[in-house]
Amino acid sequence: MSDPTARAAHRDRVDAPVASVIVPSYRGADRVPALLDSLAAQQDGTPPFEVIVVVDGVDDGTPAIVDAETRIDARAIVFPENRGRVAALNAGFDAARGDVLIRCDDDLVVPPGYISAHVRAHVGEGECAAVGLTRDIHNDSAYARAYGRAAAVASARRAGALPADQRWTLWAASCSVPRAVHDRLGGYSSAYTSYGWEDIDYGWRLHDAGIPIVIAGGADAEHHGPARSAAARSAKAFDSGSARALFHRRHPSAPLPTPTTPPGLWGRAVDLAARTMRRGPGALPAMADRAARVLPAPVARKIIAVSVEGAALAGHRHAERTALATTDHAGARRPRIAIAHDYLTQRGGAERLVLSIVRAFPDAEVHTLFYEPDQTYPEYRDVRIRTSPLNGIGLFRRDPRLALPLLAPAASALRIDADLVIASSSGWAHAFGRTGAMAVYCHSPARWLYVADDYLGSAGRLSPQRLALAVLTAPLKAWDQRAARAADTYRGNSTVVRERIRRVYGIDAPTLFPPFSPSVADGEQTMPAGVTGWGEDGGHYLVVSRLQPYKHVDRVIAAFRDTPERRLIVIGRGPLRDQLRSDAPANVRLLEDLTDAEMRWAYAHARALIAASHEDFGLTPLEAGAHGIPTIALRAGGYLDTIREGTNGLFFDAPVPADIRDAVDRFEQHPPFGADGIRAHAETFSEERFIRELHRLADQLAPSSTP
């Protein structure tokens, strides 16, 4: 409803609310209930109000939560695809019926007088805008103790002390404006695609138009979604620094200082940090998080502060140096980079790798066929993700294999508007449509096309999967070959995949080994509930694998069946879960959906990792190696790249129970491997090296340009 006349008529209805609360929400199902509870607890005498939750392209259950709300007038607007916070805000403001428009983030918990305070701020002579102050709420953690809580207190103190002519810089999570002012000023600016500065831009436009900004007394709210780590805080700081440069170009008269290097020794430290983060936060924030866990809080606070300030300075310098893609000014234009991945519906090595690519290009969107937040890593909740229309079908989202006949046309129909797409592909993402160049990072040519027996395992001749593949294989191969040869360059994730790409596509794909994720090694450890009363002391053997036929997990379990004195933990999900659980002996436990802290415990307390599948790249030995834990692996595939026999593991020759059991026997008789040597070998596959190579590749395919 963008026509002001039509909106006015709608507003004149008898039941029209006095205030409208607009809530932009992106994957907010775990946050929105607390906000709705606090809005439903408004004090007696609160003016009539409505709540509009704009669900930005990912139906994670938020619309159902809003639809079920009966205590207050609440409704949801659902975008079919992710459009960003600016679009969500503008859609909510357009749909609002109230005379006071209150913007409220979905991670706030508001006080009982919240609505009344915002409405009261607009009663009286003259127009104004109002800000409700917020305070960050931190759960207990090393980061919170060292930096987060102190930073929150300092930020709240600065906000409360700002003079009236600087309050426009506070325009953010909780603020309100009369409808008449919003109609004159217009919506939030779509020029901003990164963190937060569409708010400050709007605040400056209010100030520049002569609209005074007041503090809404009694509207102070709790903010339950602050950054929880130095890595997350630094990523936001980098994006904020980049957006700040765009703000300066749009509003050169605004009295907002340009970031500069602080004086003295501190300034040299910040400058050095910024130089290490030229293209993104990189590895320094992860080091700061590790420091927070082992160093005294005052020391760790300084290290985190250097990382955060350096990231903000680096983001601003990067934006100034290359210019944002949205700028109106002539000059260097930063290439627009997007990321593609088959589907984000599980926790595996490929999904962890995409998170590394995101850390390399923190402002990139991720495009995928399916995204199911509860089935993959929680870090994706902080990433902008666009999905195919098929994502709206819950059955397919939970198990994409069921959509096999539809996936090729769905992949071809996707369109990615970017100068460069980095596609993490095992069969689909390399075929996504795009406007610019494409670099394919190939985990393997599609297994279901080229090694179908390995993929299907014991599925019978008349199984639905095998029959479907029999019909689809020929057209899918032709489609797959065309898509592969249309890419600008290929990289293989291992030696064996490079050879497979050469054999299948006739393409020479240089090897770029993936990294292991620092989050697997660093951080607190929590014992999984599934081992309580069974193996709290550790000393178990460990399998980390999807439960699919070609992973040979059943054969590892069989190898332990006759050795009850040895314990085995299997971590993973997949179609064989029920079968494996029913067949597992008492000395084997199957676990799934572990947190990172529980995964760290499982690795750190293991005697050894066992890896029996034909892997394209042997990632789990590196994750175990980060804890100084060796691996007993099949002498094949990617394990030949990541295991150096005698340094971080030993091999067996066939994925059969007898060979696996014999290798465990040999391991028991072998002197212990040196934990320091194992860790040093894992460090040669660092994320920092991987990100550096990605940046070099991006510079070759999509260099910065000058109009």
Tokens at 394, concatenated = 């819950």
Q: Do 690 and 684 meet the contact criterion of CB atoms below 8 Å apart?
A: no
% of the chain beyond a pLDDT of 90: 49
Whether pLDDT at 3 is above 50: no
Q: Using one digit for the tens of pLDDT, what is the confidence trace for 254-304?
A: 888 777 777 788 888 888 888 888 767 777 888 888 888 889 989 999 999
How distant, in Å, are the alpha carbons of 57, 222, 373, 486, 494 from that of 385?
A: 9, 27, 11, 24, 27
Q: Measuring CA to CA, which residue among 281, 386, 390, 284 is closest to residue 338? A: 386
Closest CA to 238 of 266, 276, 279: 279
pLDDT tops 60 at residue 1: no
Determine contact, residues 473/455, Cβ cutoff 8 Å: no
Domain extent listing, the chain: 4-226, 229-333, 337-515+689-701, 536-685
| Bridge-based pairing state of the strands 588-591 and 606-611 | unpaired
Look at phi and psi of residue 315 and say left if phi exceeds 0, alpha if psi is from -120 to 50, else beta: alpha
pLDDT beyond 80 at 70: yes
Would you give the distance in Å from CA 573 to the centre of its chain? Answer: 20
The residues facing 632 across adjacent strands are: 610, 650
DSSP 579: H
Instruction: Give the pLDDT confidence score for residue 363 in this predicted structure.
Output: 81
Task: Name the helix (H) or strand (E) containing 439.
Answer: strand 437-442
pLDDT at 5: 38
Mutual angle of helices 32-40 and 114-121, in 10-degree steps: 70
CB 227 within 8 A of CB 236: yes
More confident residue, 3 or 131: 131
**Span of 9-13, 138-142, 404-408, 524-528 with lowest mean pLDDT:** 9-13
Strand ordering across the sheet containing 420-425: 385-387, 366-368, 337-341, 420-425, 437-442, 489-492
Say what the pLDDT of residue 460 is: 54
Residue among 217, 124, 216, 128 nearest 180 (CA): 128
Residue found under tokens 């020479």: 508
Domain 4-226 top-level CATH class:
alpha beta
Angle between helices 264-276 and 297-322 (to 10 degrees): 60
Cα radius of gyration rounded to whole Å, the chain:
27
Domain 536-685 has CATH 3.90.550.10: no
Q: Does the pLDDT value for residue 7 go beyond 60?
A: no
Going through 586-705 in order, the beta strands assigned E by DSSP cover 588-591, 606-611, 631-634, 649-652
For the chain, how long is the longest CA-to-CA vector?
Answer: 86
Best-predicted range by mean pLDDT among 46-50, 184-188, 343-347, 643-647? 46-50
Q: In the 3-class helix/strand/coil scheme, how is 214-250 assigned residue by residue?
A: EECCCCCEEECCCCCCHHHHHHHHHHHHHHHHHHHHH
Distance of CA 49 to the CA centre of its chain: 34
Q: Which CATH architecture has domain 337-515+689-701?
A: 3-Layer(aba) Sandwich (3.40)
pLDDT at 329: 38
Mean pLDDT of 321-328: 45
Are both 4-226 and 536-685 of the same fold? no
CA atoms within 13 A on the CB side of 25: 33
Indicate the length of the chain as a whole number.
707
